[in-house]
Amino acid sequence: MNRLHIFLLCLAGIFVVLYAMLPKRPHIAFTYLRYVILILIASVVLAPFVWLVCSAFKDPTVLMKYSFLPPPSEWSKELNLKNFIELFKSQPSMEGKVYFWQYIINSLFLAGTTTVVQMFFSSLGGYSLAKYEFRGKKFIMLFMLASMMIPGVVLLAPVYKLIVNIGLMDTYWALVVPGACSVFGMFLFRQAMVGVPNDLIEAGRIDGCSEFSIYLNLIMPLVRPMTGAFCLVVFLGSWNNFLGPQVYINAQSKLTLPVVLNQYVGVYANQYGVFLAGTLLAIIPPAILFFCLQKEFISGLSSGAVKG
Partner 1 sequence: MKNAKYKAYVKRTPYMFLAPYICLTCIFFLYPLISAVILSFQQTNGPKSRAFVGLSNYAFVLTDPDFRKAVSNTVIYAIFSIFLQLPLSLGLAMLLNTAKDKTKGFFRLIIFSPNLVGQIFVGVIFSVLFVPRYGLFNRFMQDLLRWGLENRWLGNPSLVLPAIIITALWMYVGFNMIYFLAGLQSVDKSLIEAARIDGANAWQVFWNVTLPAIKPVATFVVVMSTIGSFQLFELPFALLKGEFGPSSSGLFIVSYLYSMAFRAGDLGTGAAVGWILTLMIMAISLAQIKISGTMKEGQ
Question: DSSP per residue over 207-246, as a string?
Answer: TT--HHHIIIIIIGGGGHHHHHHHHHHHHHHHHT--HHHH
One character per residue 130-149, x = contact with partner 1 (rule: CB under 8 A) = --x-x--x--x----x-x-x
Residue 70 engages partner 1 in binding (rule: CB under 8 A): no
User: Shortest CA distance to 173 belongs to which of 91, 74, 65, 245?
Assistant: 245
With CB under 8 A, what is the number of residues at the site for partner 1? Answer: 93
Q: DSSP letter string over 247-274?
A: HH---GGG--HHHHHHHTTSTT---HHH
Contact 18, 28 (CB under 8 A): yes
Q: Binding to partner 1 by residue 304, rule CB under 8 A? A: yes
* Choices 82-90, 94-102, 124-132, 222-230 (CB under 8 A): range interacting with partner 1: 124-132
Using the rule CB under 8 A, is 294 a contact of partner 1? yes
287 touches partner 1 (CB under 8 A): yes
Nearest of 55, 73, 72, 56 to residue 64 by alpha carbon: 55
- For partner 1, which is the closer residue by CB, 228 or 258? 258
Among 23, 150, 195, 198, binds partner 1 (CB under 8 A): 150
Is 151 an interacting residue with respect to partner 1 (CB under 8 A)?
Answer: yes
Chain residues 21-40 in contact with partner 1, contact rule CB under 8 A: 34, 37-38
Q: Among residue numbers 217 through 276, which ones bind partner 1 (CB under 8 A)? A: 236, 239-243, 247, 258, 261-262, 265-267, 272, 275-276
Tell me whether residue 14 or residue 144 sits nearer to partner 1 (CB atom).
144
Neighbours of 82 (CB within 10 A): 16
Q: How far is the CB of 101 from partner 1 (least distance, A)?
A: 19
Q: Does position 67 bind partner 1 by CB under 8 A?
A: yes
Return the residue of 49, 77, 85, 89 that touches partner 1, per CB under 8 A: 49
First to last CA, the chain: 51
CA distance 233 to 241: 12
CA dihedral 101, 105, 111, 113 (to 10 degrees): -170
